[in-house]
Amino acid sequence: MSIKEAMSRFTTGVTVVTTHFDGQDWGMTCNSFNTVSLEPAMVLWSIRKQANSHRAFTQSGSYLVNVLQADQTATALRFASGPQHERFAQQVSERSAHHNIKLQGSVAWFECRLAQVVSAGDHDILIGEVVGHGCQNGWGLAYANHQFGVHSAFQN
Ligand SMILES: Cc1cc2nc3c(=O)[nH]c(=O)nc-3n(C[C@H](O)[C@H](O)[C@H](O)COP(=O)(O)O)c2cc1C
């Protein structure tokens, strides 16, 4: 069993992280997002160093994490490949205070100032200070074993 297979057994949520750089919007599906600190509020995610959008996310100074809702599998797939402009086409959204795209239907969002970039092997860890956030009722999309799913068995 490969290390990738073992890692895939860890169930995560699914996000689309966006930024605005060089006059265009950038977005990618990401399941490495995690919360880090409450005071000050900080979060992190990691980006593959070879990603086309790596420069945009490390140079723009801010990013916005959209936590996808359980019914947003199509959005997760759309933001995982293809040209950037096609990822945002047909997507209902609004622009945040820092000009990043906020996707309609997300169960939560966190807008961050990029605070630190930590190199870790073939990825960079992007640590952000949360400068804005919001959420609505609902459940997030889950991801495990390379499959999307819903949290259907949460206990009280
Ligand atoms: C469920 C899922 C989670 C992903 N999580 C990450 C991640 O945390 N970091 C990352 O760099 N890529 C992640 N990817 C892959 C990127 O979405 C994909 O490589 C990226 O959109 C490629 O675009 P780009 O090279 O044009 O930037 C994930 C893909 C999927 C389907």
Q: What is the mean pLDDT of each run of 10 residues along the chain (156 residues)?
A: 96 98 98 98 98 98 98 98 96 94 98 98 98 96 96 70
Q: DSSP string covering the chain, please?
A: --HHHHHHTS-EE-EEEEEEETTEEEEEEES--EEEEETTEEEEEEEETT-TTHHHHHHSSEEEEEE-BTT-HHHHHHTTSS-HHHHHTT--EEE-TTS-EEETT-SEEEEEEEEEEEEETTEEEEEEEEEEEEE-SS-BEEEETTEEEE------
* 143 in contact with ligand 1, CB cutoff 6 A: yes
Name residue, tokens 């995560």: 12
Specify the CATH superfamily of domain 3-150. Electron Transport, Fmn-binding Protein; Chain A (2.30.110.10)
Look-up: residue for tokens 């969002």?
109
- pTM for this entry: 0.97
For residue 87, what is the enclosing H or E element? helix 84-88
pLDDT for residue 156 = 64
- Give yes or no for residue 73 CB within 6 A of ligand 1: no
CA of 11 to the centre of ligand 1 (A): 16
Contacts (Cβ under 8 Å, ≥6 apart) of 29: 14, 15, 16, 76, 77, 79, 80
Determine which helix (DSSP H) or strand (DSSP E) holds 58, and give its type and residue range. helix 54-59
Question: Are 9 and 145 a contacting pair, CB within 8 Å?
Answer: yes
pLDDT confidence of residue 21: 98
> Is any atom of ligand 1 closer than 6 Å to the C-beta of 144?
no
> What local confidence, expressed as pLDDT, does residue 38 receive?
98
- Take residue 119 and report the two structure tokens written for it: 């190199």
State the pLDDT at residue 23: 96
Please give the distance of CA 72 from its chain centroid, rounded to a whole number: 13
Pocket test for ligand 1, best of 21, 28, 118 (most atoms within 8 A of CB): 28
